[in-house]
Amino acid sequence: VKMKFALLDCEDSEKWSGHEEIWFKLFKREGDEWEVFRVFKGELPKRDSQYQGIIITGSHYSVYDEQPWMEGFAEYLRYLHAEPEARRPKVYAACFGCQFLAYALGGTVQKNPSGRFILGSEEIRGNTALACHPFIRPEAEKAEDSSVTKPLIFRLLESHGDCVARLPERDDLTLLASSNSCNVEMFCVGRKTIAVQSHPELSRELMEEKIFPAVRARMSETEVEATKESFLLDLNDKEVLTLINNFLHSP
By annotation, the residues acting in catalysis are: 95, 199, 201
**What whole-number distance in Å separates Cα of residue 32 and Cα of residue 46?**
19
Q: In degrees rounded to 5, what are phi and psi of residue 153?
A: -120, 125
- What single-letter amino acid sits at 103? Y
**What whole-number distance in Å separates Cα of residue 197 and Cα of residue 25?**
21
**What whole-number distance in Å separates Cα of residue 237 and Cα of residue 76?**
30
DSSP-assigned beta bridge partners for residue 37: 8
Of 20, 76, 89, 15, the closest CA to residue 45 belongs to: 76
Distances (CA, A) of 125 to 98, 136, 144, 180, 217: 17, 13, 20, 9, 30
